[in-house]
Amino acid sequence: MNVVGLFKMCLNGTYGNVQMSKLLPYKLPVQNGLKQGDTLSPVFQFCVRYAVGKVIENQGRFKSN
């Protein structure tokens, strides 16, 4: 399983609750990103740092004429 599939699997059916004054909480679906404190946050940061490092390492190959 790739990392993107792992993130999708963990975020499917994920909701956040919002409560205003004394009204009942309202459920909002999480459509992108990770929730604060999510256990996947360090994995996501590692993947982004790895990808940025690879781009910097190979930046000469991506330059157009």
Has residue 3 got a pLDDT over 60?
Answer: yes
Query: How large is the average pLDDT for residues 23-32?
Result: 76
Tokens 């190959």 correspond to what residue? 61
- Average pLDDT of the chain? 75
In the prediction, which pLDDT does 35 show?
Answer: 67
Query: How large is the average pLDDT for residues 20-46?
Result: 74
d(CA 47, CA 6): 12
In the prediction, which pLDDT does 33 show?
Answer: 67
| Portion of the chain with pLDDT greater than 70, in percent | 80
Task: Kindly report the pTM of this predicted structure.
Answer: 0.42
Q: How far is CA 11 from CA 4, 5, 61, in A?
A: 11, 10, 35
Percent helix / strand / coil, the chain, rounded to 5: 45, 10, 40
User: What ranges do the domains of the chain cover?
Assistant: 3-62
